Structure 1
Amino acid sequence: MLAPNPGPSAAPSTDSVPALPGVLASEVESVPVHWLWRGRLALGKMTILDGDPGLGKSTLYAAIAACVTLGREWPDGGHCEHPGAVVVVTGEDDPADTIRPRLEASGADLTQVRVLDVVQDLRGPRTAVFPRDTELVARVCSEMGATLLVVDPFSAHLEGSVDSHNDASVRSALAPLQETARRHGFAVLLVRHLNKSGGSKAIYRGMGSIGVIGAARIGLVVAEDPTDPAPQGERRVVLATHKNNVMKWAPSLAFRIVDSPEHGAGVVQWEGPTGLRADDLFEPAMRSSSPVQDDAESFLQAALSTGPRPSREVEAEAEEVGVSKTALRRARQSLGVDHRREGFGADGVYYWFLPEQGDGTSSHTPKLAMPDPSLEGGNLDEHGDESP
């Protein structure tokens, strides 16, 4: 038996149709990224800082805190446009004998740094953990007027239910912190130790799940300079970028940790830019200084001592005196040699120059800014030309 014909179906009521999720791009108001430290720390976004224990990560964040709390110039010459307070979530370092001396040695305004080493709950004092204490930490940042939140080390402040080696688990734990930072407008610096993999790709060297660096918009790493001939443990340290989803990579900066006897703590002593990239810091081939490399660096310093010179001209001279292309490339990285391009197309000429010289151009000199492969890992050859 046939079922009765229900007749024509009624048009659905517009009241019962849910609105389409999402938003049209045309309805989104564009806003610029607000940088705390251009290329490294952005308001409302997370940065990860990777590095082995003992290389000065905590001393480095103390130096950063000094710039933020005082509105001091950054070591690369940039201006701190959003000075404010700093909140440090930590459970490993003692505030009295370690954290305060570091901050004092760095010159930070101690009245603008709040150390959140314990929080209270019904069971008593405990370490702050994420995501459970996200809103509490956000309230502290808001009331302090903080523009920077530091979590050191990040792995010690994950809630027990979070699997630090599981991508989805880590991203779920970080999502509330990421949204809170965006809503309140402070930068987040997550400090993390390196794993023991021994790989040469810096982006994979951080401990735990790849979800951590996946969630962070910017990735930084500190490691010893493999070209420094000093014994291990006495070499200078390099701060380099291994990820940036917001802008081009910031140049690497070299520094040393020196003693401040007055404060009983170490302090960062900046040594300026270096051409070493993040991956170079973990490349075994870069780790041996040799007479050949020393000769290449001496040649390049002499060749560029009078100012910017065409790259092909310098390479030709290097070949004449027996400096290989490989040694010359490493010398460029070690010395931080930069380059510029004048002209376009087949008529374009690349010039090399030492970092302390500037590019030697005036505002009337036509030039084309090109990414430096030694700083950004681009697919360019020794001249700066695109490789086939």
Structure 2
Amino acid sequence: MFQIREKSRAVTKMSEIKEQPVKWLWYPYIPFGKLTVIHGAPDSGKTMFACRLMAACTNQINLEEMEKRSPGNVLYFTADDDLSDMVRPRLIEAGADLSRVFVVNDMLPFTLADDSIEKLIEDFDIQVMIVDPIQEYLEYEVYGDEPELIYPIILKLERIAKHTGCAILVTAYSDGRGGKNGDRWKFDFAEKISSVLCLERAGTEAKESSLIHEKCLLAPEGKRKVFMLEDGAENGNCP
């Protein structure tokens, strides 16, 4: 008869745990070492916001009420837009330092389950990683009937962010604030997503988009921001 040896559990007194204050890329919207989601309907300005965030990270062109910090490197995954005629012009318009923006441009198959993500962050000293949009890098439908299939990826990204100290931001198509798909980010994956942001555009002709802070586990939700979408606009203004 085989005997199963019981494993001892590691137990630590809370008095021995060192308190670690949260570091912020943009308080209270985007923390370092955590996972942030920004969702919205198509054409709500998610990619343009991502480009302005990259300008803030790489070239100190800060968003409103963002504390000044030393320039850092960004890892950007995008599958929707062409790098040469869409992404690069937008980054230049936003004022980003292109030498600090890293993109994966090989033809190898890639999903967020790939084990190379953490190595890329460490090899290129990445402070901020942006996935735009997350749907293009998943093997399952994010708004399907089985959200538990997506949970391991959310958990993995959260662990990578925690281990590396990198701020990980993913954009997602949704039906907007209060919609069934949009609410999934606040509720189904609630404990692993530290901050949920929603971009809303009044209409296809509108020249501005509102950034709404729907949920934050680490601080009170931030106030609504308005971002101009037209060329040459300022980075962000609060109404």
Q: TM-score, normalising length from structure 1?
A: 0.55
Whole-angstrom CA distance in 2 between matches of 1:43 and 1:209: 19
Whole-angstrom CA distance in 1 between matches of 2:11 and 2:180: 32
For CA contacts below 8 A with separation 6 or more, give which structure has more relative contact order. Answer: 2
Amino acid at match of 1:239: L
Aligned match of 2:22: 33
Shift in CA distance, 58/207, structure 1 to aligned 2, threshold 3 Å: farther
Is the aligned partner of 1:46 residue 2:46? no
Query: Identity over aligned residues, as a percent?
Result: 21
Any conservation in 2 of the 1:72–1:79 contact (CA below 8 Å)? no
Is the aligned partner of 1:217 residue 2:182? no
Aligned match of 1:233: 205
List aligned pairs for 1:41-190, cutoff 5 A.
Answer: 41-76=30-65, 78-81=66-69, 83-118=71-106, 125-126=108-109, 128-131=110-113, 133=114, 135-158=115-138, 160=139, 162=140, 164=142, 165=144, 166-190=146-170
- 1:21 Cα deviation (Å)? 4.1
Give the count of matched residue pairs: 233
Over the aligned positions, Cα root-mean-square deviation in angstroms equals 2.5
- 1:22 Cα deviation (Å)? 4.7
Where structure 1 has 5 or more consecutive residues not aligned to the other structure, the ranges are: 1-15, 120-124, 226-230, 261-267, 275-388
Whole-angstrom CA distance in 2 between matches of 1:204 and 1:187: 24
Deviations 1:133-175 (A, max 9, x none): 1x312222222211110001101101x2x45232322111222
Q: Quick one: which of 178, 186, 193 aligns to 1:201?
A: 178
Secondary structure, counterpart of 1:259 in structure 2: coil
Secondary structure, counterpart of 2:171 in structure 1: strand
Shift in CA distance, 67/208, structure 1 to aligned 2, threshold 3 Å: closer
Deviations 1:204-226 (A, max 9, x none): 5267895345531100011025x
Whole-angstrom CA distance in 1 between matches of 2:74 and 2:190: 22
Any conservation in 2 of the 1:193–1:207 contact (CA below 8 Å)? no
Q: TM-score, normalising length from structure 2?
A: 0.87
- 1:28 Cα deviation (Å)? 1.3
Structure ID, larger Rg = 1
- 1:272 Cα deviation (Å)? 2.0
Whole-angstrom CA distance in 1 between matches of 2:23 and 2:185: 29
- 1:118 Cα deviation (Å)? 3.9
Secondary structure, counterpart of 1:176 in structure 2: helix
Amino acid at match of 1:256: M
- 1:49 Cα deviation (Å)? 0.4
